[in-house]
Every structure is written in C-alpha cells, then in structure tokens.
C-alpha cells in the first residue's frame, strides 16, 4: 500500500548555491572522539599519519569533508590553546571537567588539528574560549595560526616547527554561552562578543576572518533577536544555532533498541529543524534584510543514552537506520534553506553522538549516517532547484508528520541531482517528479535501506547497511516516477 505524490522541480533565477559547508563536521575533546577515534599517537600499532588514524582520514576524504569544528562544544570554553603546543612531553595535563572528568594530556593540539585539516582538504573552524579565557588569549591564537612573520606568536609558531601560517578563516566566539559557555544573558554575551570581535585581526591574510556568534538553543528566539539587534554588522559574519534530535531529553532511550513511538518522537524533533530555521531566519530578515549574516547550525544530530557499560560522560552511541532518516531529512532542510544556512556541523565525527564512524581498537565501521553524507556529496556547491509538493502523511498513534522530504540541485556540469527520504516506518511511497523544464535524461540512483529500522553496522558485520544501486524508478516524458520503500534514502543522479 502506498500514497502517490506529485512534485515539481524548477530552476529559479536567483537560486542560492548550496554551500558545501552545510556538510561540515564537529569533533570535540569528548570521550573517544579525538583520542582513540581520530588520534592514536605516532607510536600506535594502528596505522596512522602523524598520529591520526589513516582509516579515518580515508573515510573523511571520501565524504569530502568540507570543514571540521574543534575543540568543542563545552570543552572549548575551558580550553587554553597554549597548553596544546610545543613538545608533547612538556605539555601540561588538565582535567576534562565537562566530559567524564578524565585527564587530558593535550597531546592533540593546534598543530595536530590544523595539519589534519590540511591533510583532509577541510577548512578548520576553531571554537575559541570566551567563557574562561581572555581577549588577549583569543587574539594571540589568531596571531599564532594566521600571522606570517614578525610577531611574537608567529615567532612562537615557527619555533614549534611550522613556518607558514594556516590562514584559519572560521572562528567561533565561544560556544553555548547561554549554558556551558558561561550561563550568560544574551545582552551580556552580545556586549562581550563585540569586545572580542573588535580584537580579532585577520593579519591581512587573504582569508578574511569569518566570525560566528554562539547561537540559540533550539527555539530560544529571544537569543537570536538580541544578537541580531545588538551586534553591529561589521563585527559578525554568522550566527549559530544548536538543535539535537531525541525521544525526550529526560528519557532518551537506546540508540538501537527502540519502538515506533520512540522513532516517531525522534523524527518529530528532527523535522522541527524546519520551523526553527524559518523562525530564526524571520528574525534575521528583520535586522538583516540584505542577507549578509549567515545562519550556522554548528551542532545538530541525534542524542540517545550511551551504550551499556560505557562511560556516561563519553556520549558513545550506535547509529541505526533511524539516524540515516535524521541525516537525510536534516540535510534536505539545509539544502532548501541554503539562502541563509551556509554551514552545518554534525555532532560528532567519531565515537560521539551521531557519529559517521565508530572505532574499537584497530577496527572501524562506517555508520548509516556516513552513507547518507556520502550519497549527498552530489549537492556540494551546486545550485539549488526549487521543489514544491504536498507530502503524504506518516501517521502514528493519531499524530502525523510529512513522510517525504526532498531537495534537488544542478551542478556546474549541468547535471541534476535529487535526494529523497521516506520516513514512514511501514509504507512505501510513490512520487512523480515533474522535471520537464529541466532537460533531464540518463539518471542513475542509489538507495540506503534495510529490513528493520533498528538495523545498524557492527564491528563483526560492518557492511550490514551499505549503499546499493536502485532501480525502482522510471523517467518518461519529463516525469520521474520513484517508488520509495519505507525508511529509505534515495539519491538520483543525472549522468
Ligand atoms: O555535542 C555535545 C555537547 O552538546 C557540546 O559540547 C555542547 O555544545 C552541546 O550542548
């Protein structure tokens, strides 16, 4: 049994480019994200390059990771970057107060992170310490990584073995300043932001700084209102927003052992992203009708209970087809809102929350979420096509959500790409897409699907869920007919 939906796809003149940075990532000093997950040290038996796992480097290159946010999260506002430079054996240890109270030896620091970004071809996004740091410390970090020569910090960088600056463009001015960043009011933070931003110098490198204000938690519209009202435009390029998906914050439930009611609730919070972006954007439009300040969703993803027997402070969770649904619909929302949304950062890359990869010793697996990101690489830096349709409902226990989510783009070569998600747990859905105006021919397709929503990849069976070729579609006289199985992600590509 299925519903049938008609969808129109069109090219509009002033359509935005879907920034590849929408497909960005976030890795915090949290649990086994950096240590174990990314960095194992040069002496490890696990194959590595300068201490970073080569399997992770390859996996991230394969999804064309466009940027990586670091070192937090909450950790960022406790991080003093000078602890993480110079000879490793001389670096001080600290306690990671936010995440499990473990000792942090600072062996992964600024050079390690920025060299990794260079290796990956990803833009670094440094989230700097405002909560417990100083203006001087912040501006010194910028000088250290961006000033070519003839300054105290450039000299220090050279002493530490790096001649050329890295030219870091993206800077976060604190993180979650309404919470772990200092429990500030928006009025207080807006003033503090102005002070910090004033002393952020780009040191005349070609890569002018892109300053991101710590943003609202979900529907805290007042936060965005105050930042937009009180921060002068010449001091800011982006305003952030954080929103996680969960069953219930107080009762998150297992990542793999969940029922349909829990699935439905998680999808409800994931789809809420649309309303959040609409409403934050309305406020931004009011203060910035010229659309000069971007919305940066620099933390998003699913948050469940940790896996049994693991440290509750480490946020280690499995990743199932439910997570593939969250990734698929969220990225479609970002694509469709790419006029204002210019960056997104999935939390968090390896071994934490909605990770794209999990590790266990030398083993590594790629999650269903990873596969969605790989399928969606076709949208990186392409022109958004507008899509219009009434989605059929996915109904559970008398409540309904839109079952179908979609976005479409055209790349530089003129080829059209379409990503479709059917979140319905039971029903397949048939869509008829009118692509007549677009001159589309020769399409191929891929699908991510599985027998059960709870299915996931394990270290013993890492290829349980993989992307497969998809044939259940027809292109006839300007109409694409696609039958989407329950809880599936399909990407159609013009060859
Ligand atoms: O991603 C985990 C945590 O979630 C981050 O440290 C914080 O910014 C958010 O609350």
The model's pLDDT over 358-380, given as tens digits with 9 standing for 90+, comes to: 999 999 999 999 999 999 999 99
Buried b (16+ CB within 10 A) or exposed e, 45-76: ebebeebbbebbbebbeebbbbbbbbbbbbbb
CA of 18 to the centre of ligand 1 (A): 26
Residue 245 inside a domain? The answer is yes
User: Which tens digit of pLDDT belongs to each residue from 91-129?
Assistant: 999 999 999 999 999 999 999 999 999 999 999 999 999
Residue 405 inside a domain? The answer is yes
Residue range 64-85: average pLDDT? 98
347 lines ligand 1 (CB under 6 A): yes
Are 451 and 371 members of one domain? no
With beta carbons less than 8 A apart as the criterion, state whether 141 and 156 touch.
Answer: no
Task: Give 201 or 57, the one with higher predicted confidence.
Answer: 57
Residue 118 inside a domain? The answer is yes
Both tokens of 367, joined, read: 């999650």
The closest-lying atom of ligand 1 relative to the alpha carbon of residue 244 is 4
With beta carbons less than 8 A apart as the criterion, state whether 480 and 474 touch.
Answer: yes
Are 213 and 360 members of one domain? yes
Residue nearest to atom 9 of ligand 1 (CA): 73
With beta carbons less than 8 A apart as the criterion, state whether 404 and 422 touch.
Answer: yes
Residue 277 inside a domain? The answer is yes
355 lines ligand 1 (CB under 6 A): no
Residue % of the chain over a pLDDT of 90: 95
Are 166 and 311 members of one domain? yes
With beta carbons less than 8 A apart as the criterion, state whether 165 and 118 touch.
Answer: no
- The DSSP line for 418-474 is EEEEE--SS-EEEEEEE-GGGT---EEEEEE--SSTT-B--SSSTTSS--EE---EE
Are 154 and 280 members of one domain? yes
- Residue 1 has what pLDDT? 44
Which domain-ending residue is among 360, 380, 400? 380
176 lines ligand 1 (CB under 6 A): yes
CA distance 53 to 361: 11
pLDDT surpassing 90 at residue 34 = yes
To which H or E segment does residue 335 belong? helix 321-336
What separation in angstroms does the CA of 22 have from each of 65, 334, 455? Answer: 10, 7, 27
Helix H segments across 63-179? 110-120, 135-146, 152-159
**Which CATH number fits the domain that encloses residue 448?**
2.60.40.1180
State the pairing for strand pair 238-245/210-217: parallel
Q: Residue 68, SS3? A: strand
CA of 277 to the centre of ligand 1 (A): 19
Residue range 382-397: average pLDDT? 95
CA of 74 to the centre of ligand 1 (A): 6
- Residue 384 has what pLDDT? 98
CA distance 372 to 423: 14
> Please, which residues bridge with residue 345 across strands?
24
Residue 35 inside a domain? The answer is yes
pLDDT surpassing 80 at residue 302 = yes
CA of 7 to the centre of ligand 1 (A): 37
Which domain-ending residue is among 334, 351, 380? 380
175 lines ligand 1 (CB under 6 A): yes
Residue nearest to atom 4 of ligand 1 (CA): 73
Are 161 and 211 members of one domain? yes
Are 436 and 376 members of one domain? no
**Which CATH number fits the domain that encloses residue 80?**
3.20.20.80
Provide the number of structural domains found in the chain: 2
Residue 219's Cβ-side half-sphere holds a number of Cα atoms within 13 Å equal to 5
pLDDT surpassing 70 at residue 258 = yes
CA of 319 to the centre of ligand 1 (A): 18
Are 243 and 263 members of one domain? yes
With beta carbons less than 8 A apart as the criterion, state whether 441 and 464 touch.
Answer: no
Count of other CB atoms within 10 angstroms of residue 381: 16
CA distance 229 to 223: 10
CA of 73 to the centre of ligand 1 (A): 5
Are 177 and 317 members of one domain? yes
- Residue 495 has what pLDDT? 86
- Residue 11 has what pLDDT? 92
Residue range 331-348: average pLDDT? 98
| Closest residue by Cα to residue 142 from 237, 95, 195, 207 | 207
Residue 14 inside a domain? The answer is no
283 lines ligand 1 (CB under 6 A): no
Are 80 and 128 members of one domain? yes
Residue % of the chain over a pLDDT of 70: 99
- Residue 277 has what pLDDT? 98
| Closest residue by Cα to residue 71 from 172, 207, 195, 180 | 172
CA distance 379 to 18: 7
177 lines ligand 1 (CB under 6 A): no
Residue range 444-455: average pLDDT? 98
Q: Is the ipTM of this complex over 0.90?
A: yes
72 lines ligand 1 (CB under 6 A): yes
| pTM of the predicted structure, to 2 decimals | 0.97
Residues recognised as catalytic: 176, 299
- Residue 3 has what pLDDT? 59
Are 477 and 371 members of one domain? no
The closest-lying atom of ligand 1 relative to the alpha carbon of residue 353 is 1
CA distance 336 to 331: 9
Residue nearest to atom 8 of ligand 1 (CA): 73
Which domain-ending residue is among 332, 358, 380? 380
Are 325 and 473 members of one domain? no
Both tokens of 319, joined, read: 């990743």
Residue 490 inside a domain? The answer is yes
pLDDT surpassing 50 at residue 308 = yes
| Closest residue by Cα to residue 207 from 67, 2, 88 | 67
What separation in angstroms does the CA of 52 have from each of 27, 41, 120, 162? Answer: 13, 7, 11, 18
Mutation probe of ligand 1 site: the residue of 73, 182, 216 with most atoms within 8 A of C-beta: 73
User: Which tens digit of pLDDT belongs to each residue from 408-449?
Assistant: 999 999 999 999 999 999 999 999 999 998 989 889 999 999
Mutation probe of ligand 1 site: the residue of 249, 297, 347, 352 with most atoms within 8 A of C-beta: 347
Q: Which residue has the tokens 């709870």?
A: 454
73 lines ligand 1 (CB under 6 A): yes
- Across all residues in the chain, what is the average pLDDT? 96
- Residue 2 has what pLDDT? 53
CA of 101 to the centre of ligand 1 (A): 15
Are 247 and 347 members of one domain? yes
Residue range 141-157: average pLDDT? 97
The closest-lying atom of ligand 1 relative to the alpha carbon of residue 299 is 1
With beta carbons less than 8 A apart as the criterion, state whether 459 and 360 touch.
Answer: yes
Residue 93 inside a domain? The answer is yes
Residue 272: give the domain boundaries. 19-380
The closest-lying atom of ligand 1 relative to the alpha carbon of residue 301 is 1
């Amino acid at each position: 049994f299925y519903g049938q939906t008609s969808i129109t796809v069109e090219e509009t003149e002033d359509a935005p480019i879907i920034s590849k940075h929408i497909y960005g990532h976030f890795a915090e000093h949290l649990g086994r994200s950096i240590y174990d997950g990314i960095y194992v040290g040069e002496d490890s038996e696990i194959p590595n390059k300068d201490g970073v796992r080569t399997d992770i480097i390859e996996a991230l290159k394969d999804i064309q990771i466009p940027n990586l946010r670091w070192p937090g999260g909450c950790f960022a506002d406790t991080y003093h970057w000078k602890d993480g430079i110079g000879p490793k054996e001389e670096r001080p240890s600290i306690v990671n107060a936010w995440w499990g109270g473990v000792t942090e030896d600072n062996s992964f620091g600024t050079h390690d992170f920025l060299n990794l970004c260079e290796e990956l071809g990803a833009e670094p996004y440094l989230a700097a310490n405002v909560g417990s740091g100083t203006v001087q410390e912040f501006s010194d970090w910028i000088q250290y990584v961006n000033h070519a020569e003839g300054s105290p910090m450039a000299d220090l960088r050279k002493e530490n073995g790096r001649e050329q600056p890295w030219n870091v463009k993206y800077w976060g001015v604190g993180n979650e300043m309404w919470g772990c960043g200092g429990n500030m009011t928006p009025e207080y933070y807006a003033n503090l932001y102005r002070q910090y931003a004033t002393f952020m110098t780009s040191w005349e490198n070609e890569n002018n700084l892109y300053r991101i204000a710590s943003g609202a938690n979900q529907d805290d519209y007042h936060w965005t209102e105050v930042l937009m009202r009180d921060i002068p435009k010449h001091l800011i390029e982006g305003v952030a927003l954080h929103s996680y998906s969960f069953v219930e914050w107080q009762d998150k439930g297992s990542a793999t052992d969940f029922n349909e009611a829990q699935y439905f609730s998680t999808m409800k919070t994931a789809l809420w992203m649309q309303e959040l972006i609409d409403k934050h954007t309305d406020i931004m439009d009011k203060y910035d009708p010229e659309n000069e300040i971007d919305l940066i969703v620099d933390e998003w993803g699913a948050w469940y209970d940790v896996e049994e027997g693991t440290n509750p402070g480490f946020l280690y969770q499995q990743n199932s087809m439910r997570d593939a649904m969250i990734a698929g619909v969220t990225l479609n929302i970002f694509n469709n809102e790419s006029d204002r949304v210019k960056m997104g950062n999935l939390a968090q890359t390896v071994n934490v929350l909605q990770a794209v990869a999990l590790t266990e010793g030398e083993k590594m697996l790629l999650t269903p979420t990873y596969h969605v990101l790989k399928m969606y690489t076709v949208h990186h830096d392409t022109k958004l096509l507008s899509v219009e349709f009434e989605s059929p409902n996915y109904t559970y226990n008398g409540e309904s959500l839109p079952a179908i989510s979609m976005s479409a783009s055209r790349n530089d070569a003129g080829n059209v790409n379409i990503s479709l998600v059917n979140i319905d747990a039971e029903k397949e859905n048939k869509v008829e897409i009118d692509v007549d105006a677009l001159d589309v021919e020769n399409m191929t397709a891929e699908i991510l699907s599985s027998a059960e929503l709870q299915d996931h990849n394990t270290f013993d069976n890492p290829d349980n869920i993989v992307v497969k070729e998809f044939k259940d579609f027809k292109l006839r006289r300007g109409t694409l007919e696609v039958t989407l199985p329950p809880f599936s992600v399909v990407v159609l590509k013009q060859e």
